[in-house]
């Protein structure tokens, strides 16, 4: 007697967000970085859609997260700096998922309750309307992470390294939630971890071996100045950073296998991204909050394990921004985007055009030609830009940035990804400068921002 296949009933799609903190777009092996090996994220990129021009429109922890959760710009939702509290009256992405009958869950770093302190307690009414929430406000010690929430309001210390332990907590909840066919409920679930944010202290797990990356083996980007004290610091920081990225990749692999074991791999979109990048001594800068590529370019992949049903594969030059992530996520599930969200729905890039879910997707000709970037308050950290700034990233790769009343940077990142040729005061590129300046002015007006642009006329 021949074996018979049994097919599951058609289910609504699930979505998982997985994101770390300060994971720049370049720090992936599929992006060509020779210092790191990320096979699980690479496989997700092969199986899905790569948004290789994705940007962090506010490269600072809290402003990005406020925009991520609400689909609005920092100056519109009030989360303009780190730390800043997100007004609980502002709707978040969890609410339309709740209304559509989804289970919503959030695990890990929150950082929109207005504090940088690990001891800060986020009360239930300030957790973005997620049905299940286990997390913390902020933490800069990856080996000493405390969480609280739906499973108990008294903070408890996780047993191991933060990324490993939060992933275990996340997967345990999903396994409990998915259950059997009779009580199955689609889900939108978020895993937010602190690594590879500094301090660059990677895990030393005896079961998987010590980190394999040695400072002496690091190949620095060519825009890291060849100054002894900088290159020495950079090599040490990079080694820890990349080991933390590889640990995050390991846990992405755990999520991929768990989805297969739960039998929900083919209907679950996994969206992997970051809140912003890390300069890691490029241009003698550290951390984030700068308009250079290492700070503003983020990884962004939407895929399904094994490809899944009706999943497009490939890459797009769409400049997806922080405000676009929530609308795109809702679009993957066929849930209408609330009017209050100002971002664009890019889900049409991911869903096969012959699929029923593709109908009604936004016309690609109507997609933004650029993305708007902001550093709203002046930030006075060492080794970083100590000015407020605004910038525009054009879809063709041109980038233009201004500080108040001053034109500052003009790069063609398509030809110059390390941004070593600043054309802002080169008259030969005045036409491109004027084009970018006009678009930046339009973004400021359209979003209701308040910023003093310079007069760039040559006369």
pLDDT score at 326 = 98
Its domain, for residue 291, covers 14-366
356, part of any domain: yes
In a domain, 251, yes or no: yes
Identify the domain boundary among 366, 396, 418.
366
CATH classification at residue 295: 3.40.720.10
Q: Which of 333, 366, 399 is the last residue of a domain?
A: 366
Q: Are residues 412 and 354 in the same domain?
A: no
Residue 160 resides in a domain: yes
Judge whether 82 lies within some domain: yes
Which tens digit of pLDDT belongs to each residue from 221-246? 999 999 999 999 999 999 999 999 99
The CATH number assigned to the domain holding 425 equals 3.30.1120
Provide the edge-to-edge strand list for the sheet that holds 406-412. 370-375, 389-394, 398-403, 406-412
- Supply the pLDDT for residue 23: 98
pLDDT the model gives residue 182:
67
Are 422 and 302 part of one and the same domain?
A: no
Per-residue pLDDT reduced to its tens digit, 99-128: 999 999 999 999 999 999 999 999 999 999
pLDDT value of residue 308: 78
Domain assignment present for 133:
yes
Nearest residue to 271 via CA among 39, 443, 54, 120 = 54
Q: Are residue 336 and residue 414 in the same domain, yes or no?
A: no
Closest of 18, 44, 51 to residue 367, by C-alpha? 51
Query: Is position 5 within any domain?
Result: no
Residue 23 lies in a domain: yes
pLDDT given at position 5: 44
Q: Are residues 151 and 241 in the same domain?
A: yes
Of the residues 366, 397, 415, the one at which a domain ends: 366
Question: For 117-227, where are the alpha helices, taking DSSP H only?
Answer: 162-178
Give residues with Cβ within 8 angstroms of 249, minimum separation 6.
37, 38, 39, 40, 41
Instruction: State whether 325 and 405 are in the same domain.
Output: no
Residues 113, 21 share a domain: yes
Q: What pLDDT shows up at residue 327? A: 98
CA distance 350 to 302: 7
In terms of Cα–Cα distance, which of 354, 408, 334 is closest to 101? Answer: 334
153 and 281 co-located in one domain: yes
Domain identity same for 55 and 115: yes
Regarding whether 222 and 293 lie in a shared domain, the answer is yes
Q: Are residues 146 and 255 in the same domain?
A: yes
Could you tell me if residue 456 is inside a domain? Answer: no
Specify the pLDDT at position 355: 73
Q: Which residue has the tokens 């700096």?
A: 81
Number of domains the chain contains: 2
Identify the segments of the chain with pLDDT beneath 70: 1-10, 180-182, 206-211, 356
Tokens of 212: 């394999």
Q: 321 and 203 in one domain?
A: yes
- Its pTM stands at 0.96
Residues 324 and 410 in one domain: no
């Amino acid at each position: 007697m021949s074996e018979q296949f049994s097919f599951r009933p058609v289910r609504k799609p699930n979505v998982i967000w997985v994101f770390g903190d300060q994971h720049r777009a370049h720090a992936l092996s599929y992006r060509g970085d020779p210092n790191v090996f990320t096979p699980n994220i690479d496989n997700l990129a092969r199986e899905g859609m790569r948004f290789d021009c994705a940007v962090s429109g506010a490269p600072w922890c809290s402003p990005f997260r406020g925009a991520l959760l609400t689909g609005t710009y920092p100056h519109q939702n009030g989360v303009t700096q780190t730390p800043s509290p997100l007004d609980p009256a502002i709707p978040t992405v969890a609410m339309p998922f709740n209304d559509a009958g989804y289970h919503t869950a959030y695990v890990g770093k929150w950082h929109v309750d207005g504090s940088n302190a690990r001891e800060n307690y986020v009360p239930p009414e300030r957790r973005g309307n997620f049905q299940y929430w286990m997390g913390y406000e902020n933490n800069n010690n990856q080996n000493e992470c405390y969480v609280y929430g739906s499973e108990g309001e008294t903070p408890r210390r996780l047993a191991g390294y933060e990324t490993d332990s939060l992933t275990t907590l996340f997967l345990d909840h999903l396994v409990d939630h998915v259950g059997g066919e009779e009580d199955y409920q689609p889900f939108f679930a978020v895993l937010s971890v602190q690594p590879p944010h500094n301090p660059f202290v990677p895990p030393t797990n005896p079961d998987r071996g010590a980190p394999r990356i040695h400072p002496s083996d690091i190949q620095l980007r060519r825009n890291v100045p060849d100054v002894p004290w900088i290159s020495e610091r950079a090599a040490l920081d990079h080694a820890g950073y990349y080991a933390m990225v590889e640990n995050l990749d390991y846990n992405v692999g755990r999520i991929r296998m768990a989805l297969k074991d739960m039998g929900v791999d083919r209907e679950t979109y996994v969206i992997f991204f970051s809140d912003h990048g890390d300069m890691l001594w490029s241009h003698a800068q550290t951390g984030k909050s700068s308009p250079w590529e290492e700070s503003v370019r983020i990884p962004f992949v939407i895929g399904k394990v094994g490809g899944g049903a009706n999943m497009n594969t490939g890459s797009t030059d769409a400049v997806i921004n922080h405000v676009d992530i929530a609308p795109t996520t809702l679009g993957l599930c066929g849930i209408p985007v609330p009017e209050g969200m100002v971002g664009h729905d890019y889900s049409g890039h991911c869903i096969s055009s012959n699929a029923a879910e593709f109908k009604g997707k936004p016309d690609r000709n109507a997609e933004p030609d650029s993305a708007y970037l902001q550093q709203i308050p002046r930030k006075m950290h060492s080794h970083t830009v100590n000015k407020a700034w605004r910038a525009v990233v054009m879809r063709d790769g041109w980038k233009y940035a201004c500080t108040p009343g001053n034109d500052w940077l003009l790069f063609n990142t398509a030809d110059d990804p390390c941004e070593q040729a600043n054309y802002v005061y080169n008259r030969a590129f005045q036409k491109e400068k004027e084009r970018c300046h006009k678009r930046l002015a339009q973004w400021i007006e359209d979003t209701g921002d308040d910023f003093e642009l310079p007069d760039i006329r040559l006369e």
